[in-house]
Amino acid sequence: MAITPGMTADGRKAVPAHTGLTKEERKVIFASSLGTVFEWYDFYLYGALATIIGTQFFIGDATTKFIFALLAFAAGFIVRPFGALVFGRLGDMIGRKYTFLITILLMGASTFLVGLLPSYATIGIAAPIILVTLRILQGLALGGEYGGAATYVAEHAPEGKRGYFTSWIQTTATLGLFLSLMVILGTRTAMGEEQFLAWGWRIPFLVSVLLLAVSVWIRLSMNESPAFAKMKAEGKTSKAPLTEAFLKGKNAKIVLLALIGLTMGQAVVWYTGQFYALFFLEKTLKVDGALANILIAISLFLATPFFVVFGTLSDKIGRKWIILGGCLIAALTYFPIFGALTHYANPALETALKNSPVVVVADPATCHFQFNPTGQKKFPSSCDIATGMLTAASVSYTKVDAPAGTIASVKVGDKEYTSFNAGMDPAGLNFDAASKAKEAVMKTEVGGAIKAAGYPAKADPEQINKPMVVALLFILVLYVTMVYGPIAAMLVEMFPTRIRYTSMSLPYHIGNGWFGGLLPTTAFALVAYKGDIYYGLWYPIIIALITFVIGALFVKETKDNDIYAAD
């Protein structure tokens, strides 16, 4: 067989004598990374605009709309493993290049259509149904995208430089988020907040069609990876990659370890540092949305080079302990960091939480988890009415159990307000007229007491210590770079060429799609249930610690693995 230029006789990517990158290597990294940036831009627009999308496409109170918008956001993550199975199989059978060309077309078209989709007020229930469908298509596309890009770049990388090469792919998720925030911010500033909320939020989605055109042009110019081309020429491609990847004991065990001992923890650190931090600033600390986007964007800009730093470092000292170290440090410091965010972003809220604690005294049997997926269900118990008001106002509270049958009350400092058990109208869909009147009175009284106690309606921009907020956000994103910078190289090195695309894609997308993608929804729901603004952090902390323990005990270092060895 003819030897491809830049390859050794056995199909390895030769290590160049010089220290710089060749023109072909730069093209591989640039083409793969830029196309993936655009994919992540498409995917994260929804997350960055979740609050606005909730008001456009869902019904119910503010809390229900936001949780439902997050669930629709999570739908894209939930289906990512299925996209990994479909496109991973194609990638291992027909090639890396054409498979992730298909994924970008699917992603771009789905995103563009979100920008054209009429709201709930225009077409009713069809609006959220179509929206979730488009999110699912995005998730399927992304499920096939990452494994293809990471595998393609790694199989082009010289030995000893896979961490460095693939770390450029790792920057793309953050750069895609950064780009989406910049487009949103530019549109918001140019149009004004009122017009942006009304219809201008659609522009970033529509702009994606331009990015799609550039991405397709770039990917059409790419060649197949040398490792796959050699394997295909020799007739060694897998005929049943799903069976080989997941139904054969040895490889199936490695897939499971890759999920629990690597990607699960990496995912929650990633989404805590970038998405949950943004939601925390906006929803909990009540920082203006545009300012929150700017602060996150600055932290992303400052921290992004560290993806390459940690990727390169992993070529020298190994990948495993950089990833696991990031999980451990993050788990140990999340509570103090988010507490400091409150201190520097909304000191008035911090003062109110300390000096004017809010307490709900209620029969625990009457307190329920108030998730309302249809927007129609009402929670008429006195406890649910009281806690629902506080949650909608983003006020932390503690619960004190009262004897059975006790009518719930809300204590704000030294003042106490009695709730009520509501009656329902004949249709059973809304409170009756008398209960609505009582609810309005209670909202006025409790709202006034909360305001008098010092709980701010919004964070005061003059009181926000912006440099310290950026520094804290930078630390959170630095953790992201530790766990994410080396992960692509490590996953590639864990699996053989013939089933690599399929094998690495599934644990990556289960970890990031399910454990990571569900993080904002899960954390926000935990906060709403417990009444503690920091309670949602227990989710990423527990998951990251599980990954640290399992990874430390059972996952082997991979940096010296031969990815061209016989399967």
Contact by Cβ (8 Å): 338, 534: yes
Decide if 565 is inside a domain.
no
Per-residue confidence band for 29, with pLDDT thresholds at 50, 70 and 90? confident
Alpha carbon distance 214, 55 (integer Å):
32
pLDDT at 171 over 90: no
Q: Are residues 190 and 324 in the same domain?
A: yes
Average pLDDT over residues 546-566: 87
Strand partners of residue 431:
424
Decide if 210 is inside a domain.
yes
Helix (H) or strand (E) holding 371: none
Q: 369-428, pLDDT tens digit by residue? A: 665 444 456 778 999 888 878 876 778 888 899 999 999 999 987 889 999 998 887 766
Q: How confident is the model at residue 374, as a pLDDT?
A: 40
| Paired tokens of 230 | 């050699």
Q: How confident is the model at residue 45, as a pLDDT?
A: 79
CA angle (178, 45, 267) in 5-degree steps: 70
Q: How confident is the model at residue 346, as a pLDDT?
A: 95
Average pLDDT, the chain: 82
| Paired tokens of 97 | 């290049």
Last residue of a domain, one of 452, 475, 500: 452
Which residue segment(s) compose the domain that 402 sits in? 351-452
Per-residue confidence band for 5, with pLDDT thresholds at 50, 70 and 90? very low
Q: How confident is the model at residue 372, as a pLDDT?
A: 46
Percent of the chain surpassing pLDDT 70: 84
368 half-sphere exposure, CB direction, 13 A CA radius: 12
Alpha carbon distance 166, 170 (integer Å):
7
Percent of the chain surpassing pLDDT 90: 30
Q: Are residues 103 and 211 in the same domain?
A: yes
Q: 452-508, pLDDT tens digit by residue? A: 888 888 899 999 999 999 999 999 999 999 999 999 899 989 888 778 878 888 888
Q: Are residues 193 and 243 in the same domain?
A: yes
Q: 247-288, pLDDT tens digit by residue? A: 777 888 888 999 999 999 999 999 999 889 988 998 889 999
| Paired tokens of 539 | 């989710």
Q: Are residues 91 and 228 in the same domain?
A: yes
Q: How confident is the model at residue 232, as a pLDDT?
A: 63
Q: What is the pTM of this model?
A: 0.79
pLDDT at 246 over 80: no
Decide if 102 is inside a domain.
yes
- Provide the CATH number for the domain around residue 62: 1.20.1250.20
Decide if 9 is inside a domain.
no
Q: How confident is the model at residue 1, as a pLDDT?
A: 39
**Total of domains in the chain:** 2
